[in-house]
Structure 1
Amino acid sequence: MSVEPFSPQPSEAASFSVDRRAPETKRLVTTLLVGRLLFAGTDGLCRVRNISTGGARIETPATLAPGDPVQVELRGDIVLAGHVRWTGPGVVGMEFVQPIDTDAVLHGAQSDTDWHQRMPRITTQCPVTVRQHGRIVHADMLDINPRGARLANLQWPLAEGLFTLNIPQLEPVEGTIRWCDNDMAGIQFTKPILYSALAEWLQSSPTRFALR
């Protein structure tokens, strides 16, 4: 007696599809991580909206295309490598080169004693001014993230207390000194710079590398 090949009915096929995706869905983690996106020899600010063992949804103002190789650097000096799988307005889907441990990415591996919470910094070469106690100090900004920046070639040392950092084409931001070394200083903003404003500035402002 001949037996016809098994062909599931639409309702059965749907149940198989759901079952097949269920394990992957459980590994999906909704998050909101700010990171550094590296692509085509440059970099910029990005935001990871959700992440799984195989990929992530990335918010970025950068123009990318499916197949483009990209890397995302997150807090803890974690770097995720992969390529663009799909694109949409202000967002891309990233597929990782190999599966990742989402818990280790989000919270650090138990054996990793060097893991830290600091956001990656984005490289700049931009002239800035610092206003403090009625005095204006000229400096160069070497890197920045929404919570702080690193300055070099300070015209005069900064004093303890609050000051205002003026970055061309961005709103003035208030900050304090985290560390200083001769004519260099690390500063922390009292209020983070709005992600959308900083991401767009890093992507399109001609002042980002004005000192090159």
Structure 2
Amino acid sequence: MSMLDFLRRKPAPPLEALDSLDTRAAPRERICIPVTVDTGCEWYDAVILDLNMRGARIYVEDESPRLRPCLGQLLAVRPSGGVPIAAQVRWREDRHLGVQFLVNIHAETLSMFRSASQQRLQPRPSRARVGFDVEVVFGEHRQTARLTDISSSGARINGVSEVDVGTPMMVHLEGLMPIAGHVRWVDGEEAGIMFTRLLPIGSARYIAEQGLVSRLWLQEVIEQHDSANPLN
């Protein structure tokens, strides 16, 4: 059976039956592993926050109001460059999912997750609430929009139209070099943008000064650059 056929199967056991399957015999290990959650019709960027051989707690980074995996749903958890792991949703709270693997993962896989885990648990960069007028350019469109929040890796834009998920986009903020990214989600005239590269420190400093943003946010952007370039 292909992975797509597997994902198209109907959610199997009722939740009452699922509750009897999880004894949590093995302790969970706190890690931070980027993964993709694939439901067969949609996919989400996410981070595994803790796991053992039987299951994991996953943080869905996409903050769009799209319907996320529901209780009992079958899905595939795909580590970057790794083999997808078949799982079923056991619980959901906001953007956190508890999943149970359909087949226990091997010790070698656990070891791989440990070695790939980041030093600090940081599911997503902090967002700074701002209010800048920007110009966005995508395809043949050039539109004026409102930048409502921003992090080192992405932003929320309000007031865009005729844009689709996956569309490359340039965000022009007066006084700064254009910021390149692509559309991660769309809800009406609102869209989430993921930057192609980390927000430059100079741009972050300008935004912090002009938008009256906390220096703690600016410091986090600087630390993320340091983490991405440890030898610099």
Per the normalisation by structure 2, the TM-score is: 0.40
Q: Flag the structure with larger Rg.
A: 1
Per the normalisation by structure 1, the TM-score is: 0.43
